Chains A and B, each alone.
Chain A
Amino acid sequence: MKINKFIYVLIVGAVVSTSCKKSFLDQKPPAAVNIGDAIKTESDMGDAVNGMFNAARSSSLFGRDIPVLGDVLSDNAYVSSSNSGRYLQENNYTFISTNAEASNIWSQGYYTILQANRIINTALPSSTTIGLYKGEAYTTRALVYLQLANFYSAPYTVNPSADGVPIVTGYQGAYTKPSRSKLADVYARIIKDLDSAYAIMPATATSSEYMNKYAAKAVQARAYLYKGDYAGARDAALEVINNGGYSLLTSAGFTAYWTNPGPVTNKQETIFELALTNITNNGTNGLDYIYNPAGYGDILSTDPLYNLYSATDVRRGLIINGKRSGVQAYIVNKYSNVTNANDRDDLKILRYSEVLLTLAESYARLGDEVNALKYLNQLVAQRDPLLVYASTGDQLVSDILTERRKELAFEGLRFFDLKRTNVTINRPVQANSAPSIATIATDNFRRLLPIPQAETDVNKNITQNPNY
């Protein structure tokens, strides 16, 4: 019996024709791109910048934990006895290495740095736009490192050679286990990044939800101030004030400014804010939700802070003398857009007022009291018509710090001022507070957050902060 070879050719043909190409096994994801192909064009890099800001606005970072800790760990705010169970360890200074916020800020901080590093390390032909994007990445990275250094390390003003945080400037794979850099090196990196940013960024941003070169300078002024380099802080602040084109928020526009949830383009007051909208926001994990009684309303203003504002101070209008669970309480109303139907409050990260105060303090500390008073009173005039400062010496510095506290309350900066000036933190005893601590001496080890246990478990190269 003969075999018809033709038949076999047919079979082979039939089988082989149904076999698939190699690309059959390469199914591309529908909402993601391979990391090596993610940033190929200017537009891709713009997307990456949006992603970086998206990471930064997480409630684990600037979206809630950073600003809340900045005030709850200080003398500005406390957690009500009627609460949703959040920030109780911070309120009582009992946090340990598994503390959720210490872990969140660390991990989300480095996640944001990862996004910034990608932008910084991607080589694309230079252009104004690329300069803007890379500058935003440098600035964001510096901003995050500044927060990390201030939370997890001793103040630079006390010990520049203390342990800082690991400096990661590029993704080296999953198994990298870096050690902590010296604090001085971290600051050097921050200031260098901001110089790099300033050099390549344009002067104007599309809106306050994006950055320009003065945002880099504003962060740098803050970094120099925290470092105790007042000449540097003065120069950086002057650059913003003289050349930035920003104007000070006036008393007439004060209330409207804080109730406006969206971005501005008029260069009034806001140098940079992170966008939150009715579609993308942190919902019940938002900064607004934790402060506003329409949400959890857990966190209240301390009585001493409220009492710092005179009756004629427009800023007092942001604190309501109301009730929490039937008991008198000072309710924070800085973030009023809580409900879904409205746009949500953008997160104010850099404001002109802060730069003015930094400049005033730098002048004061450098002995130029005329200029210090000039900038201080320039701000105060728009807040409290009856208040004019004429103090000198230490009193002047103290007055500036007080104004800084009043102006920037609930924006998460107070704790760092107390840290860098290395003073005892006196938290008032509030009757309706969740368990809380009254005095945090300068040697209290919890002035440094713990390195998360999740990090120390995995990364044997890292040193835990003392006593954790």
Chain B
Amino acid sequence: MKKKLLLFFVLSIISLNSIFAQGKKVTGRVTGADDGQPLPGVSVKIEGSDRGTQTDADGKFSIAGTAGEKLVFTFIGYATQIRPIDGSANYSIKLKSDTRLLTEVVVTDGYVTQAKKSYTGSASSVNGRENENKPFSTPLQALQGEVPGLNISSNSGQPGANIQVRIRGIGSIGADSNPLYVVDGMIINSGDLSRLTTTTNVLAGINQNDIESITVLKDASATAIYGSRGSNGVIVINTKKGKAGKTQVRFDTEIGSTSNLSLPDAGKPATADQYRTLLLEGLTNAGVNTPALLQPYIDSYGLNGKSNDWYDLVTKNGSQQQYNVSLNGGTEATRIFASSGYFKQEATTIGSNLKRITGLLNIDHTISKRFSLGIGLNFSNVNQNTPGNGGGFVNPILSAYFLRPFQLAYNDDGSLNTSRTGNTNFSSIYNPLYMAQSDKRSSSQTRVLGNVTLKWNIWDQLKYTSYVSVDYNILEERQYNNPIMGDGRTAGGRGYDYYTRYFNWLTRNQLSYRWDVPNTTDFYVDVTAGYEAQKSSAYLISTNTNLFPATQPLLTNSVNGSTPILGNANTSNYTYDAIYAIASINYKNKYVLSGSFRRDGSSRFGSNHVYGSFPSIGASWNIDQESFFGVQKIFSSAKLRVSYGLTGNSAGLGNYGWRPTAGYGINYAGSPGQNFNTIGNVNLTWESAKQLDIGADFGFFNDRLAFTVDYYNKNIDKLILQNPTSLTTGFSAITENIGAMTNKGFEFGVKGVPVKTKDFTWSTSFNLSLNKNKITNLVNHAPFINGNFQVQEGKSFYTWYSRQYAGVDPANGDALWYTDDKKTATTNVYSKAQRVADKQADPKAFGGFNNTFSYKGITLSADIYYNYGNYIQDAWANYLNDGTNYTFNKYASNMNRWTTPGQITDVPKYVAGGVNSGQSSSFSSRFLYKGDYIRLKNLTIGYDFKNLSLLKKLGISKLYVYGRGTNLWTKTYDKRLPFDPEVGAFLNNSATNQYLYGVSNLEVPQVKTYTIGLNVGL
């Protein structure tokens, strides 16, 4: 590797020596007038000559010129500016936006910043301003429906919950499908680092208000620079930087409340009366059919006694508040952005909330003409209380549905009922109110993200950047199970304290060189090459003790337990090491040919494949720069793009999985032991994706309307799968790079300002993403079951595999299923019905429709998200429908059960213990619902007190007041759907490592928020 670097430098020197500047050198820097950010790719020309150049990634330019000549700066989306050359040698140009469209002008991929016009890749940026102050605990939630090709789904309304982010479909089967996250150049450890609590999300530590832009890199031309980690796409987050000029101080606050999304009729739990009716009917149908026989049940289940509404008891209205203050200012030499924020959200489910404090400091300092230094520091602390989910008896949502109305939360004296005996008390499921009060499940996640960038303009054309960044994460997790009721009872109280620390550093040294082709204008070559190294070290401490003091509810740390069960520490490290290069040839901004190359090594790769190479190539043609473009009047701009490249996916490889090892951690008779327990595979390597992207960008009506379309074809192979071995080896399978699949799709985006008058502006954007996933190779071509999905060649990964429900036999009330996919015959024997691979759980199409209307100072914006073509499953239907598990409460919809011969209904006869041998409510297409929905995600109406002289006197430069509602309205398309359609789950599953779309898991439900906000500028 060192040799290659040396070669690069030698070449650089040779090429440099061949350049001789002519005339006087004029240099300067071009920035945007509104945000002070450098503008790369700005065309700089000497008026009336053929001399010209473009600004570099830092907005800097250098051109030969003499006094008296005029510099002309032109850039799409900005007003042209002309500046005469005077005596000064350095020019600071501020270009004003010409208010055509708020489209992105630059693309920052973490390595280089390029003008969007000359960019050959497929990338979408969202300006941070668009989502400021939104009441989401993680910034990506606001991106749902805003970026073509980016699918975002929250499976839980738990504030701070991990959310599912997929770029252009699922990228893996056995490894990780999450995109790579890059914050201010740092490849961070992302996702859910929790080991004890239900869910956390590292990105919850990033304050939406600190984000300058989020860029989603999608195709190979954009992501290949991330090599073996780029194939799931890359999300690049840049925080706000200071700008020179008058110091701006901003104060933002938003407060309000959260409330339940209204429960669909099909999902309402049975009332006390309904449950009584169902239970007595079910018992009667099961042979307990005389008053004398029923009376003991009526008495023991308290059917004539008091009752309560459990859904009501475990949900409530929550509160929502955030406060942010920021400072932005400095001199040309030193620019500062500093901010601090506080965010608090309570979900509508008991015991679920989040508090966050954040701080950001970005300092940019120009040391001299040749040196500049940037320092960034981002701090956050996120505190969460997270109730259990899924089938845990401590899950309040499970309790809301499973507890009978006649199980009483409170004793007669008003205290919480903790009795475990008798059918009006809590013999199996716990009293959720007592659990919320007495158990503890909390996490505190502290993150420090720091970086230093030193830039050295060695030469006007040659720049050196040295970058060091640290991503430091501490997650403290605590769980306490009280000794009175619940999971800790038999252990006399149980406490866990877990400590998880990730120390992740990255260093990058990079040289950029611009070579203007001699004797031409606007024809140049940009080359950037560098070296990068990264190491992440995890440190994991786990403790667990039992037998706690019985009546000391505050003493919950594991130190209070008298019996140590677990106390150990472990580490887990990974490293990456890479050389990379990016080059592009730009001819008059008409034709751009770019390429990138990365050679990536990692400790995660088997010893036979330590390094991999990841090249990409891309080309773009800006048709609007051609002379013939002017003959037509339809398009105001047009660009064609094409790219192809190879990327990898190595995030889910596991840090040590390839190594054949003997593992320790065994205690035999009080002595340590080792087992040959990891078969390893020295050939194990990254999953790889070859992606073709063809895209076009068009502008109409002087670019007031912009249209973008992309087609992609992503061939993914070397997917990691478990290849079964003969058990006589001592192992059941070896992890190998075997599988393959494709993702093909279209993305459309339209942005426009249909109306713009002096007082009224309507801006709108619409996008649509279509993705088709297809498995093309599996181990021995053999399909396998993944939960209720079948993974099969030729089908989408998320293909449901269900018995086909044929309704209820009108003669006897039995559930019926079709015997096969031809649907010719029915059976009432569940096991005789054939399972059919049909319908998918991931959406066929999704997108957003966002509108903003401004009239004078009033602004109204509405963001709509839609999702189409998927089916979702009620994973707990077996407990909530029919009489199979009759001791649990039921959906009220069971009142539609079959009761009399000849009756046509789709709910079988209600029999205690169940009909069809108790399998009427087992998984079948009966419990698959259409997942299509349209949701009004955000509705904001505000007023900008622009010209109030009183405010000026008070020293307030800006005052904006608004009201906001989120998730106010949702339209679904299946009346039978018992819950909100945005669901998904992780299930413990050895077959795959994927999030399961469309599987409900009794999570904390999504919430509605109503807030009012205030933005004050000083």
Contact = CB atoms under 8 A, between A and B. Distances in A.
A114 B729 contact: yes
Given A27-B655, A107-B732, A280 B667 contact: yes
A462 B679 CA distance: 22
Given A18-B531, A47-B664, A55-B675, A176 B9 contact: no
Q: Which 10 pairs between the two chains have the least Cβ-Cβ distance? A: A50-B673, A114-B730, A50-B668, A38-B662, A32-B661, A275-B669, A51-B673, A27-B603, A51-B675, A29-B656
A48 to B, nearest CB: 5
A30 B668 CA distance: 20
Contacts of A280: 666-668
B16 interface: yes
B673 A54 contact: yes
B317 interface: no
B511 A11 contact: yes
B602 interface: yes
Interface string A1-32: 10101011001101110111000111101111
Contact of A25 (B547, B565, B575): B575
Interface in B709-755: 724-732, 734
Contact of A31 (B13, B20, B21, B570): B570
Interface string B571-587: 11111010000000000
B627 interface: no
B502 to A, nearest CB: 14
B728 A25 contact: no
B5 A15 contact: yes
Interface string B637-664: 0000000000000000001100111111
A174 B734 contact: yes
A46 interface: yes
Contact count band on A: 35 or more
A340 B2 CA distance: 59
Contacts of B464: 11, 14
A34 B669 contact: no
A119 to B, nearest CB: 10
Given A11-B458, A110-B727, 16 more contacts: A5-B13, A7-B458, A11-B464, A12-B6, A14-B509, A18-B531, A20-B533, A29-B659, A34-B661, A35-B676, A38-B676, A44-B674, A50-B669, A51-B662, A53-B669, A457-B724
Contact of B730 (A8, A27, A171): A171
12 contacts: A3-B13, A8-B9, A16-B2, A24-B577, A27-B655, A32-B664, A38-B661, A107-B727, A110-B727, A110-B729, A174-B681, A459-B728
B13 A53 contact: no
A113 interface: yes
Given A1-B21, A27-B574, A174 B5 contact: no
Contacts of A178: 726, 728
A263 interface: yes
B696 interface: no
A101 interface: no
Nearest to A174: B734
B533 A31 contact: no
Contacts of A123: none
B610 interface: yes
A33 B674 contact: yes
Contacts of B459: 3
A177 B676 CA distance: 19
B674 A47 contact: yes
Interface in A256-274: 263
A327 interface: no
Interface in A447-462: 452, 454-455, 457-459, 462
A11 to B, nearest CB: 6
A15 B8 CA distance: 12
B958 interface: no
B533 A50 contact: no
Given A24-B575, A32-B659, A3 B16 contact: yes
A30 B535 contact: no
Given A11-B511, A18-B531, A32-B678, A50 B672 contact: yes
A176 B729 contact: yes
A277 B670 contact: yes
Interface of B: 1-2, 5-6, 9, 12-13, 16-17, 20-21, 458-459, 464, 466, 491, 507, 509, 511, 530-531, 533, 535, 546-547, 563, 565, 570-575, 577, 601-603, 610, 655-656, 659-681, 724-732, 734
B734 A53 contact: no
A18 B673 contact: no
Nearest to B604: A27
Contacts of A172: 729
A455 B727 CA distance: 6
Contacts of B1: 19
Interface in A427-468: 452, 454-455, 457-459, 462
Given A16-B2, A280-B668, A30 B601 contact: no
A233 to B, nearest CB: 28
B577 A207 contact: no
A51 B666 contact: yes
A115 B675 contact: yes
Nearest to A273: B669
A355 B9 CA distance: 80
A369 interface: no
Which of A31, A44, A210, A280 is most buried by chain B, counting CB atoms within 10 A of its CB?
A: A31
Contacts of A452: 727
A441 to B, nearest CB: 29
Contacts of B491: 340
B509 A174 contact: no
A279 interface: yes
Contact of A340 (B509, B546, B672): B546
Nearest to A452: B727
Contact of A34 (B5, B602, B660, B673): B660
A30 B661 CA distance: 11
Contact of B663 (A32, A50, A168): A32
A450 to B, nearest CB: 13
- Residue among B464, B666, B674 with max Cβ neighbours from chain A (10 Å): B674
A57 B668 CA distance: 10
Given A16-B5, A110-B727, A454 B732 contact: yes
B671 A118 contact: no
A31 B676 contact: no
Given A18-B531, A47-B672, A47-B673, A106 B6 contact: no
A236 to B, nearest CB: 26
A279 B661 contact: no
A111 B677 CA distance: 9
Q: Considering residues B6, B671, B726, which has the most beta carbons from chain A within 10 angstroms of its beta carbon?
A: B726
A168 B662 contact: no
Contacts of B667: 277, 279-280
B671 A50 contact: yes
Interface string A148-172: 0000000000000000001010011
A341 interface: yes
Given A11-B464, A19-B533, A454-B724, A113 B730 contact: yes
Contact of A171 (B2, B507, B729): B729
Nearest to B681: A174
B993 to A, nearest CB: 20
B16 A54 contact: no
A50 B531 contact: no
Given A3-B13, A51-B662, A263-B669, A454 B727 contact: yes
Contacts of A39: 662
Nearest to A106: B727
B725 A19 contact: no
A15 B565 CA distance: 49
Contacts of B535: 24
B729 A174 contact: yes
Contacts of A1: 20-21
A65 interface: no
A16 B2 CA distance: 7
Contact of A53 (B458, B610, B668, B726): B668
